[in-house]
Amino acid sequence: MRLTFWGAAQTVTGSMHMLELGGARVLMDCGLFQGRRAEADRINREFPVEPSSIDAVLLSHAHIDHSGLLPKLYADGFRGQIYSTRATLDLCAAMLADSARIQEKDVEWVNRRERRHGGDEIRPLYSKEDAQAVLERFVGVEYHESFSPLEGLQVEYRDAGHILGSATMTLGLREGGRTKTLGFTGDVGRAHRPILRDPEPMPDCDYLICESTYGGRVHEPAE
């Protein structure tokens, strides 16, 4: 087993973590890095490995810093399955299309400026067509429904209580006759919120990838 952290490590955006298991590659989230235009464009333009070498994506939730590079992953050659809750799939249908529209408008503005100054024009990271096409790669799963994206890997989602459809995940890994459990929280919500269910506890695991945006802070009472 090998873990590589490509985003949301020492920063709070662009969640993307790669698990390599027995020659297979699985991404946990595939998020858009959001920041200053030049820095974000540089980070988002190129994947550290060939997208066609990725076998599957496990998506925690629909927020763009966790899902927003999926259309580019598809446009650059990924043809595996993307596993998410059904609610996350529904939200991604709207949010990824909206992300593509925002990028196209942003690039239009940048290119008008570049033409005035004789600079090079740029292209959006992906198109509305890419955002639509990647939806065909989604597989909707239920909370507490164990599934196997590839041999040697068993996954189960639990409610993260963050947004509609958000999930934590536990990954049961079998390699070399040994079994280990990897936990990935995605973004975890707060208890006692209206509409959303409370986040479910994470079961015991050998390794844990955990968001820490708020660190040791204590939230003010919701009232």
| Type of residue found at 130 | D
**Residue 216 is assigned to a structural domain of this protein:** no
Instruction: Name the more confident of 38 and 73.
Output: 73
**Residue 146 is assigned to a structural domain of this protein:** yes
Instruction: Name the more confident of 222 and 138.
Output: 138
d(CA 155, CA 84): 11
**Residue 41 is assigned to a structural domain of this protein:** yes
d(CA 137, CA 58): 12
Q: Which residues sit opposite 28 in a β-bridge?
A: 17, 58
The pTM assigned to this predicted structure is 0.93
Number of domains in the chain: 1
Instruction: Name the more confident of 7 and 221.
Output: 7
What pLDDT, on a 0 to 100 scale, did the predictor assign at position 49?
95
d(CA 96, CA 126): 10
Rg (CA), the chain: 18
Residue 40: CATH number of its domain = 3.60.15.10
In the predicted model, what is the mean pLDDT of residues 176-190? 93
| Type of residue found at 205 | C
In the predicted model, what is the mean pLDDT of residues 7-21? 91
**Residue 66 is assigned to a structural domain of this protein:** yes
Structural domain boundaries, residue 44: 2-209
In the predicted model, what is the mean pLDDT of residues 148-166? 96
- The per-residue pLDDT of the chain, averaged, comes to 92
> What's the token pair of residue 125?
């990271």
Residue 133 predicted with pLDDT over 80: yes
What pLDDT, on a 0 to 100 scale, did the predictor assign at position 211?
84
